């Protein structure tokens, strides 16, 4: 039985296929105006949002948006598999026969040529190649200042505050798993998990095995099985073709050859406050270890900055394609050129 409670009475038109976005949020009033506008401009038709007892005006703001259908989610975020159960429930109600985008309030979807190919057109391509989903990297964005000094103004383009990303990520194959590859690198690895920066496959795999065993037998520890956050997602799926198992994984799907990315804007000046809240509430995945590392690093260096010699200024989606972070193909390139001409 779902604990979602519908908070609006706006009609949901089902006469045509749409691109629909699904979010679970809590106290995201700072980021919501831009993340909604960004995806509106990309081509999202409507948003379905589960609000987990926000106290900062997020719910009231969302209810004023004509294209937002809002549910109250008063239950435990952790018990709802960190919001995934709410997302899947909303997709079950409103996503079948539509293309469904699952994002967080600090994420912006990109894909090759997204500046000229709208999301509905991109989904038309996915239909053409009979894909059920798109693999994406998760790219942490940051400023050239300390995190504490990275002040973001509500409604502004996220990239105007955090335009940089690490230029030296790489892919590693995941044995007998879906999806088949993981994305390695980034500022969190450099600054919060430095022991993994030079670790080989064994150095990455063994902690994951220990972590799996720990979770199976119910052992809680801040030192056993610590691994850096996963930097891959499948944010875009055809409704009814599968479901999300976590925010980073889905049931096996037929993935497109073209891949995308989620630009991740976690590191504004409110980061330390959000870390402390997560530590206190323990509602985030593995908060005891991951957020403890964030807190320890920030206490050690309150002026921590991610900016370094290999920081790259983001311009367009082409930057990620040329670096091999996102993948395109001849068929899609022809499709995108045709659409640009049309």
Query: How far is Cα 315 from Cα 165, in angstroms, rounded to an integer?
Result: 11
* 3-state SS, residue 25: strand
DSSP state of 172: E
Q: Do 6 and 33 contact (CB within 8 A), yes or no?
A: no
Give 52's Cβ-side CA count (13 Å radius): 24
- What the block records as the tokens of 261 is 């990315």
From the CB of residue 270, how many other CB atoms can be counted at a distance below 10 Å? 18
Per-residue pLDDT of the chain (342 residues; tens, 9 = 90+): 468 999 999 999 877 899 999 999 999 999 999 999 999 999 999 999 999 999 999 999 999 999 999 999 999 998 999 899 999 999 999 999 899 999 999 999 999 999 999 999 999 999 999 999 999 999 999 999 999 999 999 999 999 999 999 999 999 998 778 888 999 999 999 999 998 877 655 454 555 545 554 445 454 444 445 788 899 999 999 999 999 999 899 999 999 999 999 999 999 999 999 999 888 876 555 545 788 899 999 999 999 999 999 999 999 999 999 999 999 999 999 998 876 544
- Distance, in Å, from the CA atom of 83 to the CA atom of 219, rounded to the nearest integer, reads 23
Taking the model in full, what pTM does it have? 0.91
User: With the C-alpha atoms ordered 267, 273, 274, 280, is the resulting torsion angle positive or negative?
Assistant: positive
Which residues touch 190 (CB under 8 Å, ≥6 apart)? 166, 197, 306, 308
């Amino acid at each position: 039985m779902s604990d979602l409670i519908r908070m609006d009475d706006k009609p949901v038109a089902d006469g045509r296929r749409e691109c629909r976005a699904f979010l679970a949020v809590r106290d995201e009033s700072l980021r919501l105006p831009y993340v909604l506008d960004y995806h509106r401009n990309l081509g999202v038709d409507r948003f379905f949002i589960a609000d987990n007892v926000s106290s900062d005006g997020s719910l009231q703001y969302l209810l004023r948006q004509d294209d937002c259908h809002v549910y109250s989610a008063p239950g435990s975020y952790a018990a709802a598999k960190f919001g995934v159960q709410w997302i899947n429930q909303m997709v079950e109600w409103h996503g079948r026969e539509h293309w469904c985008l699952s994002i967080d309030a600090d994420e912006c979807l990109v894909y090759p040529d997204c500046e000229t190919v709208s999301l509905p057109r991109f989904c038309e391509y996915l239909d053409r190649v009979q894909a059920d989903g798109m693999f994406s990297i998760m790219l942490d964005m940051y400023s050239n200042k300390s995190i504490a000094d990275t002040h973001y103004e509500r409604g502004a383009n996220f990239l105007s505050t955090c335009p940089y990303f690490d230029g030296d990520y790489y892919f590693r194959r995941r044995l007998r798993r879906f999806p088949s590859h993981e994305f390695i690198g980034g500022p969190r690895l450099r600054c919060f998990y430095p022991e993994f920066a030079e670790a080989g496959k064994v150095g990455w795999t063994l902690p994951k095995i220990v972590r799996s065993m720990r979770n199976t037998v119910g052992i809680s520890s801040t030192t056993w099985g610590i691994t850096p956050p996963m930097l891959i997602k499948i944010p875009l799926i055809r409704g009814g073709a599968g479901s999300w198992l976590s925010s980073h994984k889905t049931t096996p799907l037929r993935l497109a050859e073209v891949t995308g990315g989620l630009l991740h804007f976690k590191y504004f000046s409110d980061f330390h406050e959000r870390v402390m809240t997560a530590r206190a509430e323990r509602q985030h995945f593995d908060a005891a270890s991951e957020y403890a590392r964030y807190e320890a690093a920030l206490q050690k260096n309150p002026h921590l900055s991610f900016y370094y010699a290999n920081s790259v200024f983001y311009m367009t989606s082409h930057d990620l394609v040329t670096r091999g972070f996102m993948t395109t193909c001849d068929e899609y390139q022809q499709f995108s050129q045709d659409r640009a001409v049309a």
